[in-house]
Every structure is written in C-alpha cells, then in structure tokens.
Amino acid sequence: MSFDLRELYQEIILDHYRHPRNQREPERATAHSEGHNPLCGDKITVSVRTENGQLAEVGYHASGCAISVASASLMSEAVKGKPLGEVERLCKEFQGAVTSPDGGEFPEMGDLNALAGVREHPVRIKCATLPWHALRAALSGVDKMVTTE
C-alpha cells in the first residue's frame, strides 16, 4: 500500500489541474461530445473544430478530479493542430499505454508521460482516459455520450 503519491500527483499534473489549458468552447465548433464517469461524478464536454483533415481547435469543459482535468488539459495541448489521423493514433497510443498492466515501459509521449503513474491506481485509470474517450466520440461523430462504466 505504501506507494509514492508524488508519482501520481506530479507537479505537472497539479499545475494542469489548477490551470487547465484550452478550457473553453472553440469558435465555430463542428462537433461536441459529453463524457461521464458515473462512479465518481466526473463530467467533461469536449468540443472540436476540424478543418481540412486537421484538428484545428479543441476545447473542453471538465469538472472532476485532478487526474481527469489534467488529462483533458494535457490532451488538448497534445492534439491541437494535428492531422486527424495522427490524433486518432495518439488517442489509441495513450489509452493503450495507461490501461496496460503496470510494469511495461510507458512510451515516450512528452508531457503526457506525467500520467504514467495512474497505472498503479486501477480505479483512477478511467479518470485519465475519460477525456480521450470523449474526444474520439466527438471526432467520430457517432456516439455523443460516452461513459466509463
């Protein structure tokens, strides 16, 4: 039980939690999606504007724990302005990395590596993946309401 909480709550996480980047509704958003973690009450709305196969803008409104808010904020920085194919690849890579059983190497993903600590906290993994679920849902335009039951 004795684990280092600093591993989970790294400064970069706390910083993004306190000062979430891109927390706004983008202008002329082309799609929205709502994500919900009924187990802890986390809620996030992700809005996107796609242009010429690029994720021109991404914004969100997140109400939740440090992990989910920081994950949303870090995500927005990581995907903004990227080609949609790359965004999709990134989403998959990140979701795969945090849900893989602890022990394996976490891929090099820049600031997102700050979220590697959640792998040691199985119940918190859903907090970290919720914004990414919502982003993919917004981009796929199919399922406008996702949950992490």
Partner 1 sequence: MVTATSFSVEAIRKEFPILATRLGDKPLVYLDNAATAQKPQVTLDAMDEFWRTSNANIHRGVHHLSQMATAQFDTARETVRRFLGARHAHECLFTKGCTEGINLVAQSYARPRLKPADEILLSTMEHHSNIVPWQLVAEQTGAIVRPIPINDDGEIDLAAYGRLLNERTKIVGLVHISNSLGTINPIKAMIAQAHAAGAVVLIDGAQAGPHLPIDVQDLDADFYTLSCHKIYAPTGMGVLYGKEALLEAMPPYHGGGDMIRTVSFEGSTFAGLPNKFEAGTPNVGGVVGLGATLKWLMALDREEVERHEAELVGYAETLLSDIPGVRLIGKARQKAAIVSFVMDTAHPHDIGTVLDAEGIAIRAGHHCCMPVMERLGVPATARASFGLYNTREEVEALARGVQKVKEIFG
Give the residues lining the site for partner 1 (CB under 8 A): 1-3, 5, 8-9, 14, 36, 38-43, 63-67, 121-124, 127, 147, 149
Q: Of the two residues 1 and 142, which places its CB atom closer to partner 1 in the complex? A: 1
How far apart are CB 75 and partner 1 at their closest, in Å? 18
Output the CA–CA distances (angstroms, integers) from residue 80 to 37, 53, 84, 102, in the order listed: 24, 12, 10, 28
Please provide the distance, in angstroms rounded to a whole number, between the alpha carbons at the two ends of the chain: 25
Q: Of the two residues 65 and 115, which places its CB atom closer to partner 1 in the complex? A: 65
How far apart are CB 148 and partner 1 at their closest, in Å? 11
Q: Of the two residues 39 and 107, which places its CB atom closer to partner 1 in the complex? A: 39
Measured distance CA(118)–CA(120) in Å, rounded: 5
Using the structure block, give the residue that is written with the tokens 């890579």.
93
Q: Of the two residues 17 and 57, which places its CB atom closer to partner 1 in the complex? A: 17
Strand arrangement, sheet containing 54-63: 54-63, 42-51, 31-37, 145-147
How far apart are CB 2 and partner 1 at their closest, in Å? 4
Contact between 35 and 148 (Cβ < 8 Å): yes
How far apart are CB 45 and partner 1 at their closest, in Å? 14
Q: Of the two residues 46 and 146, which places its CB atom closer to partner 1 in the complex? A: 146
**Tokens at residue 123, please?**
């119940």
How far apart are CB 41 and partner 1 at their closest, in Å? 4
**Tokens at residue 93, please?**
């890579």
